[in-house]
Structure 1
Amino acid sequence: MPVNASQLNAELAHDLQSGLGLTVINEFDHLQIVGMASILSLHIKGLGQLEYDVLRQVAYYFWDITGRDLNQVLNLLAEIEYIDLITSGSTITKVIPKIPHFDSVYSGIGEYLANQHLNEKEQLTLAILGELTNKPEKRNALIGRLGAEVKLFTGCERIVSESGLVLSKRARGQDILVSPTYFADNLDSVVDLAAAGGAKRIERILNLVGQSQGWPLSLIEKQGEVAGYKIDSHELNILKSLVGDGVLKPPSIKRPSANIELFIFTPRPGNIRLNAANRNIYEKAMGLVASIRKGQLLEERYRIKYPVALLQKLRNFKAVGANSEALVQYRNLVNLQVGKLVKVGSDRYQLQLIDTPENLRAVDEAIALIQTGQMKHSSVDEEARIALTQDEAYVQSLTSSANFRKMNKLELLDEEKSEVEQLLLDL
């Protein structure tokens, strides 16, 4: 189904707010609240009646929606009939989700956004993101095409850069703006760009990662190989640079010890741009694979010997066997709303699948990722969810890329930099 302009703007608002988190943009009137509404809609879809006090805690802990903003978000969703509110006087006590079919979430919110009077900075921010979703752009050319005043453009550029949705690159004497989402949605175009531009090492890295989706970066560094094939120090540097720039997707699991494990994936295999809804399914699939890879390759005591069989069991029986490592291994899946962890002993937990069409599809996609490296397709206890994630957090791939850039600022050699620039900037 083609995405119209208002629906695309709702998706962009979702992505922007996901990146900004608790950062407040004082110059925005509507865009952040609309982004929060999109995020909340995706996560409460399919759930039963929610206690307001519990939702307030969950919204802040997981989605950076403060109590101050939550009522405004809920009133917006009630206005477009995505939820019903039960109140006592003027106080909201319960929220009843009635979100439409998954791909329609952005339709209603987009229609709402189209009827709001966005200020100049909000309009220009959406225009910049919309342009960079299609391809990298020379900064000066983009300013000219949008007819933007330089000072206003610079302010918007700062906002989208802070969100992690735009990177600024310097190449051949020009400033180039790149959006990681340009690469995030389809692998085929990235491989084609690498091959056409002569970036053979990047092409090789993409192919190797595609053969071993979800491999831990720490293991790649330690063993100096991907998918059983050795990589040299130049290729390892390029791989890290691609992770930092968001070309390779690195969902991460943060352990109680504070060690962060990054699990490396290619962009979504295929040649069709994902909308934000389907991108969320790919995030869930990557989360499933990352959890399985952790048990397969970085086990504490009990190794997962048959990853595909375990995922098939989860799909068919909606649960897998309980064990003492489940709490650490699968906790990220609670955050992603793929499953819930049920305590069945003093230190044993069972992963139970939240049985929705989107989660079943995510499991199928995860199985396909492990088997072939390709995709097959183009009521929850919120208080327990909070308790179970106090000392471990799942960071979705876009945010992980931004964090990786901050943690691992590495300088590439000229020849390595040239290959990365050829890919990112389509030179």
Structure 2
Amino acid sequence: MLYAVELATMHMLSLETKSLSLPDAFRMLSMHIADIRTPNPDNYDNGWRDLEISLPAAIKASAHRSASQDLQFDCHGVKVSVAHLIHALVTYSYDTAAVAWDLYGYLVADANVKRVLERLVVLDGDGGSRTAWARPVEGTWAQAAGMLVMEADVTRALTAWARSWFDGLLVPFMTNGGAKSADTISPETSDRLREQLLARDGPITVVGSIVDRSFLGYPTTVDPSHYRAAGALSPAHIIPLAATTNPHLRSLLEIFAGGKVTAAELTRKRINDASNTLLLTHDQIDDLGEFIFSIETDESPAATGYSLRVYTMLTGPSLNGCHDRDDLYFAEYQDEHDNGMRVPLPDPRFCNIHTAIAKVVHGAGAGPAIAAVMSQERTANMQDAAATVEIWGNGGWEYLQRELRCLAANPVDDIDVYDV
């Protein structure tokens, strides 16, 4: 990994005066601001698990550099590095160009920030079609980055934009994601999905090959920890149900996906479909929601395979011996008696969006901060309008603060719930 860091540093130095695409330009600037030298973990075996070890120390070290002191925000006592979060968003997003242009549009909307950017960076080409290239007006990208972080308006804008994506995408996706799917859908919907997924995958998890214990004759009340290869299987969402009720999450997901998934597509019917659900044990549902693992696939028409992505060293028993990049196999089901039941494969777009968000969370080192939010809001699922006097406490206040920050940074025209 040390050799990989040296290669990444040499590559960065070779680009210091070059014209770059907008995602690469923001990537270069954020790398200089926080002294990020980590190569893309996807390019190396055990890359994400190695990053889990090295990243906290790197973020802590960057916090001691004077230039990055202002590029942080606090979340329940946990510091989030703005530069690392921006770097992760323009590196691992499903559509990095769409996210980079969203950042650029946010920055130039402020007249003072726009003047600073135009003094330091010039865009060549057609910005309207997102084919423009950026280059330093003079000097190097390192010099441009150093001058940018000396401008209070710029650091304030960068922090506000990064915080809006943290509040509007990462937190609601993770706190209302797979870990709560089994509890946030009706019993009727859960039973329907379970029947469909059993028809598609059989009474066994595609991840870890864990058999539903009811098919082995075990009573459903038996503690699953007593049976390493058996568990109670339930449907879990890939894209969370919160996407149907949270307008900021819907809006940012559409940008994050570059329009390949639209806000109008994120209906309750679409989210509660077999193409957006997996059959997992309860431990696996928790791990999916917390981005311990995800499922990735090639979206080309000829692609048929899925692969497991694992992001942490300590995965526990839920993966049952599976490893990063292991192949996973689903089978599209069609009722042979023509009774109308057709169970589709997991939607590759949904799988890869979930995977991209997992990479952003881990690449930014944002997991501990989101865990702090989850700890505060464990008893309050505010996104599903479950607030009552009994649970209206610190969690509710934190939720409202996040929504106000999102609204200020990313106004949305539509606040309706897509419940069809």
- Report the TM-score when normalising by structure 2: 0.30
- Report the TM-score when normalising by structure 1: 0.30
